[in-house]
Amino acid sequence: MDKTSNPLHALAELLSGRALPIVAPERLAPSAFYDLRYRMSVIAAAFEIHAKPYGFGQRRVHAGRLKLLQFVACRPWLIGMMREWSAAQYDAQLSIASSQRLRRGFLGDQMHEDVVAFLVARGVLAKMGSHIVSVNANFLTDLYAVSLEQALFSSERRALHELLDVQITNSMLEGW
């Protein structure tokens, strides 16, 4: 960008000698997507709303399903796209218009894998074949209860409830 069309040069010229700069690097707001507690809360909510009872006092959910559910819960504006993708599974005419972007997105969510690995190491979850099982169910339940009590992450919870009505097939979990 040349100097004349660069708005920062224009701003610098307007401010030069007439204003004092304020630089506060600590005020850069990091994205919530990399906040461990936020991601754990979303996983706890996904578990509470979507996991099925398994064994004695435990619950389990398909690992791919959990990954997709929490991905959409963090981005509730994708629910419409989810519905279209789900509907397109049985309609060849729709398949061309359904989203491939969402498929790539949730499959590449490495942060989720890292959070699950942390929870497994922490003894909260366990990996069992293609499923994830809650070992310390109280931890997730308590975390979910806190978010309910303090009215935190309501849009994520709403999205997870809406997703109960969306059929998620195995081929979707493989990204098809």
Partner 1 sequence: MSLIQEYAESLAALAGNDFESEVCARLQSVILGFQTVPAKPQGDAGLDGFSHDGERGYCCYGPEHDEFKTNKQRENAIIEKFKSDLRRLCELEFAKKKLVCIECPEMATILPDGRKLKHISLLLNWFESHRVLNPIFTAFAEYRVTSICRYVDVDASVVVLGPKELANQYAVDESTIIRARQRVFARRVQQIARTVAIENPKDFESKMAILREIRPDQLAAVESLTEQFRHYWRMSLAFERELDETLPTLHRTLEENRKRILTRVSQLMLSSREPWNELGKASDIAQDFLERDFGKLYGSLVQDVSSGEIARLIGECPVGWEKPSTDHG
Among 35, 38, 51, 78, binds partner 1 (CB under 8 A): 78
Report the site for partner 1 in 16-35 (rule: CB under 8 A).
16, 18-31, 33-34
Is 6 an interacting residue with respect to partner 1 (CB under 8 A)?
Answer: yes
Is 170 an interacting residue with respect to partner 1 (CB under 8 A)?
Answer: no
89 neighbors 173 (Cβ within 8 angstroms): no
169 neighbors 89 (Cβ within 8 angstroms): yes
Is 1 an interacting residue with respect to partner 1 (CB under 8 A)?
Answer: yes
Q: Which stretch binds partner 1 (CB under 8 A): 13-21, 52-60, 123-131, 134-142?
A: 13-21
Is 8 an interacting residue with respect to partner 1 (CB under 8 A)?
Answer: yes
Is 96 an interacting residue with respect to partner 1 (CB under 8 A)?
Answer: yes
Token reading at 42: 């979303």
DSSP bridge pairs for 126 = 133
Q: Which residue has the tokens 């936020």?
A: 38
154 neighbors 51 (Cβ within 8 angstroms): no
